[in-house]
Amino acid sequence: MDCEDMQVIEEPNLSERKETGKRGRKPGRKASTEKVDIRAKLERSRQSARECRARKKLRYQYLEELVADREKAVLALREELERVVQKMELRTQ
């Protein structure tokens, strides 16, 4: 095989790309409105976080009250049990 008989296959230059085929964010777009949108989004996020913390605080208060009520009920039942046991002991004597 001679060098003249060989076909040269050219590889495309990878550094050359079509401008229409680019992906991703385009630079320089929506500069002024994007800042306003970001600020509004951050404010909504902050407000949502405040509301979440408030709900969490209320939930913990509710649970603490529930635990306190249950502890009172347990103490009342223990006292009643002690009274019943004492009455039973008095009857058996």
Query: pLDDT (tens digit, 9 = 90+) per residue, 20-29?
Result: 667 876 666 6
Please report whether residue 27 resides in a domain.
no
Q: Is the pTM of this model over 0.85?
A: no
Please report whether residue 84 resides in a domain.
yes
What would the mean pLDDT of 14-41 be, rounded to a whole number?
A: 71
Please report whether residue 15 resides in a domain.
no
DSSP string for residues in 34-83:
HHHHHHHHHHHHHHHHHHHHHHHHHHHHHHHHHHHHHHHHHHHHHHHHHH
Give the number of domains in the chain.
1
d(CA 54, CA 66): 18
Q: What is the pLDDT of residue 5?
A: 56
Query: pLDDT (tens digit, 9 = 90+) per residue, 54-80?
Result: 999 999 999 999 999 999 999 999 999
Please report whether residue 56 resides in a domain.
yes
Please report whether residue 16 resides in a domain.
no
Write the Ramachandran bin of 56: left for phi over 0, alpha for psi from -120 to 50, otherwise beta: alpha
Please report whether residue 68 resides in a domain.
yes
Q: Which residue range forms the structural domain that includes residue 56?
A: 33-92
